[in-house]
Structure 1
């Protein structure tokens, strides 16, 4: 666990800065464009290239590419260098073609992810998508560079590179707000030049992020030489393995399509309670997952892949069990605190510029529901890496199909039965139920594969963590009630709630968990204390 903890700490530091600057980026962007028509149009246009990237290459990076690079590094005479160069060449060619095709198909893509939008809103979204879609090529090349860095146990650059992207986007959003002010949310008056500032500025941030990763890859000795002998790239093996990954990503994106269309429809019926509210709440839900779980997952996968290659199932079980407990040690209190302090978080971040306190509170209510999903969602992602370490991309497809079926059914039920202002909250609850059930199914299947996943030890550890976290949640609830009774909910009181309720609550949890001798928490406390003593 100590190796994973050290590697995860390096990544978590970069991810922390990345996510904090991401907080600022999101707040400034929301202040500039709001959560009404323009906000919805931008968020859909911004999401489409991420979906296309995830479908084409993002999904296979962790499930196929990293394990294959590890194997080629071990088996090839040149340590896998030629294989890596072929992989990068293939990525540049394919992703450039996809980016061009995406720009040409912006109109049908926007139509696919929108519901009942008026013609002007659609035109604005199409124009933004045309400016943003070229980032697919840069995003993909950067991701391949990050995957190669990870196989060399160089985790810092992929976690720090997004900081530059966030800084660029903060500058773009500020420029947009300074230029247009309160008129910046009106789709009927926004000009093509204003849309170019938003769209091209968004792409510029990804270009900067890609550049950092490419430079970092060069510094560790990788020299990109275009290689067109792609038959030697193992495309057949990759294709046979990746076909299931494409199916997994496709099924997952079908679920996302359903959620986006339903939230877009809700936003047309109740402005401010639509896709933007869901997108911003989901982004903040991803903050603790990205800082804590992604760091551990990134460090775990190469180690488990090597253990599988060496036939050491016991090592796989140990890596997974310690990873789950390490992740849960901080995600358990984070999830409970989000359930209590969600509106305080979003009021502090979002109630500025073209945003109102009521709009920010609504995003916080959605975030509270997402707080329920934090632990099961993270465990589900860890479970997928067990299958990927074995090169098994087939099993996750069937699990994903079950997830999408459950999520679509519950989301449609929420859309048809809930009052319009609660629809997006219902979609977040459908997401939570889906990952609780999905984690249970994936755990059973993965446990059968490796002959046990230390289930009793993990369950015992989680139970003790929740016991330690409950006083922290009660403290935060008390601070929330007292502050609201005395000052109401505004940015200043929200800051007090977060500092007193969230900050002291997390300290209380760490103290209680340390005294309960929860080893994962003790390891974190001792590591931090050691660094402070230095």
Structure 2
């Protein structure tokens, strides 16, 4: 949904904003140019290089994120009281992180910082923006930490007082992550605006390493603790404190890179005459739109927390909030590896085209992004649907089959919406490029309504074991609705057609190829599953075999159907491979 919450430890949908090759960002007072003093490039090379660097950082972080998830599941399980309590507590700082990085910074900081460094006294403007941001983050962190008991009650509806008490204790330790998530996003966007892409996308690696070490120490000292009644204060501090220290390290590791990027930050206070008035207006509307999405997510979270049922067994294998988090992590993997990287690399170009009034250029960039991203997300969505069970088994090898099946059902419900989610993300970039957060609000209201209505309908007609899957399916429907509404609205803004016919033709041919590849994949999965090993080794064999066959079938059909966008998606990889020969 528009306000979906990412799992902790990784940037999800954040435009790191590499410099556009056609209009490099040059600092006004630093010691290193952000985009200049390099040999001339072919158009698009800088975009692809920035996307590759960001994708590399995200890939390593994701791999460590999976290891973190494995260790987390060993400590508290994939379902049950302790897992759901920690999920509720740890999502509270992620909500604000999403509000800031998923929208306000995209809409405000990227365009403002890029423009600031092109004019005299640009660093002073950035200093004021950062100072204001740090002050707001600090105040919000203090207030929301004190409000932890009420926030837990807002997002959770469990049947156990012990689970509520445990979630509240976790929240006191987890909510301070708000400040560090926000500081990470603020500093990272400034670095990216100066052409320093790597630190922002690689910093979450530090977060994951610290968290893994802390959770590992917890397991060594306490073993697995799944019941909400069995936690001491020291165990709570070690477990939740490890998560918070990881986020703090993720932010602090960026500080040394600021000076290397030519940023000399000084605390400067005062908004009068700083030019932040327009940015504040954009931020307000962005916040309103994303807050609407969060209202929908409150309903999802409460339904998920109630799903385990009246017995509220510590070892229940019914999907709840923790199962939602694991499924969402898998859902976001292909999106963050490719969609975010491509959309991020295109965002500066879109911003420059919008600023220059180049409407045909914006249309062309949007069309290209929708078509290229669609090729990947259609295959990735089909792959997740086919391989949901073995993929969950790989990341949660210690969990019983009932828990794996519960999470896999949620993965399937979310995965069918992956192509629409990628398209919605591209449409958002156009709104952000025009600094038109207000224009997105009606679309976000409809999307949130679809999520709420679908989740409550699922709760009313489905067994409690399927409530979270029903919420995931409602999210998928909301992405489809949001994309259609956004494309219709963008037609008016861009003065006519947005190349919709071409986009639909590409998606139709790629969708047909994905369906065929999925059918073949199911056949291979049945054959390998019936003859191969069981458990974790079997899951690895199934994913490798089915994934390889599906990819080859899909690529072959795209060639047969003459889908030209395949060259845009694979071109940089093929050129690099040929260059090494």
Counterpart residue number, 1:165: 207
Partner of residue 305 from structure 2, selected from 261, 264, 267: 264
Counterpart residue number, 1:86: 128
Partner of residue 519 from structure 1, selected from 540, 553, 564: 564
Counterpart residue number, 1:238: 279
- Give runs of ≥4 in structure 1 deviating > 6 Å: none
Judge conservation of contact 2:420–2:480 (CA < 8 Å) in 1.
Answer: yes
Judge conservation of contact 2:393–2:539 (CA < 8 Å) in 1.
Answer: yes
Judge conservation of contact 1:357–1:490 (CA < 8 Å) in 2.
Answer: no
The structural deviation recorded for 1:488 is 7.8
Separation of aligned partners in 2, 1:218 and 1:139: 20
The structural deviation recorded for 1:134 is 1.1
The structural deviation recorded for 1:56 is 5.2
Measured on the aligned residues, the alpha-carbon RMSD in Å equals: 1.9
Counterpart residue number, 2:25: none
Counterpart residue number, 2:400: 356
The structural deviation recorded for 1:369 is 1.4
The structural deviation recorded for 1:44 is 0.6
Partner SS, residue 196 of structure 1:
helix
Separation of aligned partners in 1, 2:565 and 2:514: 14
Judge conservation of contact 2:128–2:269 (CA < 8 Å) in 1.
Answer: yes
Partner of residue 294 from structure 1, selected from 329, 337, 340: 340
Separation of aligned partners in 2, 1:448 and 1:487: 55
The structural deviation recorded for 1:384 is 1.3
Are 1:111 and 2:147 matched, yes or no? Answer: no
Partner of residue 101 from structure 1, selected from 128, 143, 151: 143
Counterpart residue number, 1:331: 377
Counterpart residue number, 1:228: 269
Deviates more, 1:185-194 or 1:207-216: 207-216
Judge conservation of contact 1:25–1:169 (CA < 8 Å) in 2.
Answer: yes
Counterpart residue number, 1:15: 58
Counterpart residue number, 1:468: 513
Counterpart residue number, 2:251: 210
Alignment of 1:66-465 (within 5 A): 66-74=110-118, 76-78=119-121, 80-182=122-224, 184-269=225-310, 271-272=316-317, 273-352=319-398, 355-451=399-495, 452-465=497-510
Change in 2 beyond 3 A, CA 1:268/1:219: farther
Separation of aligned partners in 1, 2:574 and 2:247: 36
Separation of aligned partners in 1, 2:353 and 2:359: 7
Q: TM-score, normalised by structure 2?
A: 0.87
The structural deviation recorded for 1:332 is 1.0
Partner SS, residue 272 of structure 2:
helix
Q: TM-score, normalised by structure 1?
A: 0.95
Structure 1 residues 469-520: Cα deviation after superposition (integer angstroms, max 9, x where no partner): 3343223211211133335862222111100001332233234434544333
Partner SS, residue 185 of structure 1:
coil
Counterpart residue number, 2:24: none
Aligned length: 529
Partner SS, residue 267 of structure 1:
coil
Partner of residue 74 from structure 2, selected from 31, 52, 55: 31
Change in 2 beyond 3 A, CA 1:441/1:65: same
Counterpart residue number, 2:109: 65
Judge conservation of contact 2:184–2:250 (CA < 8 Å) in 1.
Answer: yes
Partner SS, residue 233 of structure 1:
coil
Change in 2 beyond 3 A, CA 1:288/1:525: same
More helix by share: 1
Separation of aligned partners in 1, 2:259 and 2:404: 43
Separation of aligned partners in 1, 2:549 and 2:508: 22
Judge conservation of contact 1:351–1:357 (CA < 8 Å) in 2.
Answer: no
Separation of aligned partners in 1, 2:58 and 2:514: 24
Separation of aligned partners in 1, 2:559 and 2:212: 39
Partner SS, residue 394 of structure 1:
helix
Partner of residue 478 from structure 1, selected from 518, 523, 545: 523
Judge conservation of contact 2:532–2:541 (CA < 8 Å) in 1.
Answer: no
Judge conservation of contact 1:476–1:497 (CA < 8 Å) in 2.
Answer: no
Change in 2 beyond 3 A, CA 1:525/1:305: closer
The structural deviation recorded for 1:411 is 0.8
Judge conservation of contact 2:309–2:464 (CA < 8 Å) in 1.
Answer: no
Counterpart residue number, 2:93: 49
Separation of aligned partners in 1, 2:526 and 2:356: 55
Separation of aligned partners in 1, 2:501 and 2:49: 26
Structure 1 residues 93-134: Cα deviation after superposition (integer angstroms, max 9, x where no partner): 111121111221111111111103422211111111111111
Change in 2 beyond 3 A, CA 1:58/1:466: closer
Judge conservation of contact 1:346–1:360 (CA < 8 Å) in 2.
Answer: yes
Structure 1 residues 142-195: Cα deviation after superposition (integer angstroms, max 9, x where no partner): 10112122323433222211111111111122222222223x222211111111
Change in 2 beyond 3 A, CA 1:520/1:57: closer
Structure 1 residues 189-212: Cα deviation after superposition (integer angstroms, max 9, x where no partner): 111111111111101111111123
Partner SS, residue 329 of structure 2:
helix
Judge conservation of contact 1:132–1:203 (CA < 8 Å) in 2.
Answer: yes
